[in-house]
Structure 1
Amino acid sequence: MTLICGAGAFGTALAVTLARSGPVTLWARDAGYAAEMRAARENARRLPGIALSDQITVIGGDIPDGDAPCLLAVPMQTLGGLLAAHHAALDARPLVACCKGMDLATGLGPTGLIAQGCAKATPAILTGPSFARDIALGLPTALTLACADAATGARLQARLGSHDLRLYRSTDTIGAELGGALKNVIAIGCGAVMGAGLGESARAALMTRGFAEMDRFALAVGAQPDTLAGLSGFGDLVLTCTSGQSRNTRFGHSLGRGEAFDPAITVEGAATARAVADRARALGLDMPITQAIAALVTGELRVAQAVDMLLSRPLKEE
């Protein structure tokens, strides 16, 4: 049986696709929410219109003990709290993070938080270009599964992959998690560009120069050189920056138009922008796009000011 912690859109979508191969337990933090899903046989709040098969058992309350792998499909900023609250049930088993970002309190990524909070667990991360509804509908999707323990990674790849969900294995957890985190920051910027009416040429430039910053940061903190050129970096960047399904892009679009954004919608890139900007300053890295997006998110800059700041930088070689 596969255990998934987190009954948001992505956790539910993973449950739907994995249930085509065997039984799945989907844990929701809110017991009332779990009861609602059991009764309706769908996640009407987060993934409406997608039926939950009889292979999916939705539970609330305590996370069941065991040694089977557990997929952690919760927002990045709540992952540390989940690990602390359910340490006894989660330690000493493979834990696969399915969130993207950097923890604002510690500056750690998902696998770093897992290693810190559950020292006996084997950390892994599932990341790459994907939308929950596409996965739930069985549309072809390719993701990166990164685990520093190669043998565990191979077992997870065989267990979690399917005909429609193709998993590529890596041992570079740092690079994989940073690709998924940093692209959300650039997506906010791309959304702001389009929301402000600056055009698709400006968006393409921001994506390209933003990817250079992503690569610069990742290499500085120990990622392997080729990882960000793959699904978890470049692939995810392209999808997130060009699709209206992306929450980060929609958030940026609202910033560009000067409109309010629904506070109930999780925007991982907002906290990540601040965490990465702080870390980059500490490392002495030149990341002007990231710094500008962090200032947009906190309200320190408006879009016009950020554009002027970036365009007035000295000319340089690419």
Structure 2
Amino acid sequence: MDIRNQFQTLQEWLSSQIIGQEALVNRILIALLADGHLLVEGAPGLAKTKAIKALSEAIEGNFQRIQFTPDLLPADVTGTDVYRPETAEFQFQPGPVFHNLVLADEINRAPAKVQSALLEAMAERQVSVGRNTYKLPQLFLVMATQNPIEQEGTYPLPEAQLDRFLMHVNVPYPQADAEAKILRLVRGEASGTEAAPRAIIAQEAIFAARKQVLDLHMVEAVENYVVQLVVATRNGAKYDSELGSWLDFGASPRATIALDRCARANAWLAGRDYVTPDDVMQVAPDVLRHRLILSFAAEAEGIDADAVTQRLLQKVPAV
């Protein structure tokens, strides 16, 4: 079985385990292929934890969950030097961030220093303790979650730190038919009849898939469309007078890179060897959602980042 078929089989298996959340499954696989990190927002009980834990069961790698709380310290995430009396030396004890897949549960519960420690590890792929720097695994994916319901006692992530995430995914409630399937799945798991993944994808296969994604054909017109979408967030008035009044600050060049990589991964998962404008349109909301700073006028009108992105997709020509 070639690499793409392995990933398509993995996507089907994950969808059978994470019922009614096909978009979340797709975005996790896109993040894995694009070598980025996910910020996932949704109410409790929507299988956010289960999604990344199921992924860890189907690929070669380890998994660690970090529950973020107000009393958490940066060393609780990154690790610290521990004194060993038998050798009279300090020895580095790696923290939970030294795993292939990391779930940062309720990241906005922890203070800024802890958030920064994790986000620095995400951006630099290394941890510095004292005078020493320690490399993180080559396969390293963080999925951070936020609870949109409870905001009391939380520390919202600054915009500059939000920009480090490849995508910001909103997880909705499942439909009634999907919820009935969830009931049957949970009964099966309780009785010990749950389905296991057919095969474990090796890390070498993941790195090879990433190379295939980067080698996908993208014509100059689609590349220009990616660039113009992001540039339009900084100069919305050129395309629409309301867009200009809705946006205080547009997306950074990181958004251009993320849009390119996510569109490529989306096309690759769909079985194509080329990228279309539809691939860009499909991933644009999740790539731009956390990178747009809206004006007071937009907030007063009840306009959110998704509405702005939809207007951008309508106004910026695709070819």
TM over 0.5: no
Report which structure shows greater RCO (CA 8 Å, sep ≥6).
Answer: 2
TM-score (norm 1): 0.32
